[in-house]
C-alpha cells in the first residue's frame, strides 16, 4: 500500500488550498489535507476526533460541526440520504446503525426534514461558519472503480470546492 498511500497523499496535497478527505466505505477518516483538518476540526469536541473518526458523525453531531453549519437541515438530510443509499446497496448493518445514529441527533432526519429534489441532491452545498464568515462548499466524491485491492476499492476521496467567489478568495487567503 506504500505506493497507493503516496499517490493518495499527492491528491490531497494537490487539492490545496481546498479541503479534501479520504474515507472508507463507512465514512471513517483515512486521511485529510491541511485545509480539511483546519475547517472540519475547528470547535469540534476532542472525543469526536479520536480515531476512528467518522466524518459524518463529526459533521452532524451537536458537539461537532452541526452548530456551524448554516444550512444544517438540508445538509443533514443530504448526508443521511447518502448513508441510506449506501446501506441499501451494500446490506452493511454498520451503515444501518450509522444512519440510525445520525437520525437520532437533534435536527437530523425528523418529519420536518426538507425534501431534496433528486436532480439537485448532488449539489447540496455545505455552508459552514468559519473565522467570522460563511464558506459555501460543494463536494465531489471519487472512487477507485477498477481497483484490484479490496482495501483500495473501499476508499473514496471527497474533494470540496468553493461554491462562490467569496469562499474561493477566503480559501486562497
pLDDT of 146 reads 63
Q: What is the pLDDT of residues 102-118, one digit of tens each?
A: 999 999 975 544 455 54
CA distance 126 to 12: 19
Is residue 121 pLDDT above 70, yes or no?
no
When pLDDT is averaged across residues 88-100 and rounded to a whole number, the result is 95
Predicted TM-score of the model (pTM): 0.88
pLDDT of 7 reads 87
CATH of range 2-172; options 3.30.450.180, 3.40.50.880, 3.40.190.10, 3.10.450.50 = 3.30.450.180
- Domains of the chain, by residue range, sit at 2-172
Q: What is the pLDDT of residues 63-73, one digit of tens each?
A: 999 999 999 99
pLDDT of 40 reads 85
Residues 125, 137: contact at Cβ < 8 Å? yes
Q: What is the pLDDT of residues 33-83, one digit of tens each?
A: 999 999 988 999 999 999 999 999 999 999 999 999 999 999 999 999 999
Q: What is the pLDDT of residues 16-34, one digit of tens each?
A: 999 999 999 999 999 999 9
Amino acid at each position: 500500500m506504500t505506493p497507493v498511500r503516496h499517490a493518495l497523499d499527492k491528491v490531497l496535497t494537490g487539492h490545496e488550498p481546498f479541503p479534501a478527505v479520504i474515507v472508507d466505505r463507512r465514512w471513517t477518516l483515512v486521511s485529510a489535507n491541511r485545509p480539511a483538518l483546519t475547517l472540519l476540526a475547528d470547535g469540534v469536541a476532542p472525543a469526536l476526533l479520536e480515531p476512528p473518526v467518522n466524518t459524518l458523525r463529526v459533521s452532524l453531531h451537536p458537539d461537532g460541526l452541526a452548530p456551524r453549519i448554516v444550512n444544517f437541515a438540508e445538509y443533514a438530510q443530504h448526508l443521511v440520504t447518502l448513508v441510506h443509499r449506501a446501506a441499501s446497496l451494500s446490506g452493511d448493518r454498520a451503515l444501518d446503525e450509522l444512519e440510525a445514529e445520525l437520525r437520532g441527533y437533534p435536527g437530523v432526519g425528523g418529519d420536518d426534514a426538507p425534501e431534496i429534489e433528486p436532480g439537485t441532491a448532488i449539489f447540496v452545498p455545505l455552508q459552514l461558519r468559519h473565522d467570522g464568515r460563511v464558506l459555501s462548499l460543494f463536494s465531489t466524491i471519487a472512487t477507485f472503480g477498477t481497483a484490484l485491492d479490496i482495501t483500495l476499492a473501499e476508499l473514496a476521496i471527497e474533494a470540496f470546492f468553493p461554491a462562490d467567489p467569496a469562499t474561493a478568495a477566503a480559501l486562497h487567503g
